[in-house]
Amino acid sequence: MGSLLYDADHAAEFDDRTLAHLQVIIVNKLRRRESFPFTWSDERRSMTIWLSPHTPVAFVYHGNRRPRLNRAWLEDLALIANSAGGLIVVPEPPETESVAAAEAQGVG
């Protein structure tokens, strides 16, 4: 399990694979100086936070290796993050064969 630390006093726990995908989306939006809501749910609650370029954010991984990224999931998360509702954690879709083949060949 990894952690998304935000606003100095708060943390959210995600498995390392989910956190790696969220990191790509969040960093890209903040790099473009975009503010947005981020919503996730766990067994106990649903939570929405407002992320902006002024919000301190850290990604802490507890595993030794960063997970391989699923381009299809990144595309889904990016589309969702750019919607009016902001970033929402959705289940990982299967990778398409063309994406997996392109990555295996070092393309993309």
Containing domain of residue 55, as a range? 2-104
pLDDT at position 103 is: 52
Domains in the chain: how many in total? 1
| pLDDT single digits (tens) 28-77 | 999 999 999 999 988 888 999 999 999 999 999 987 888 899 999 999 99
For residue 36, give the nearest of 21, 55, 8, 20 by alpha carbon: 55
Return d(Cα 14, Cα 42) in angstroms, integer: 9
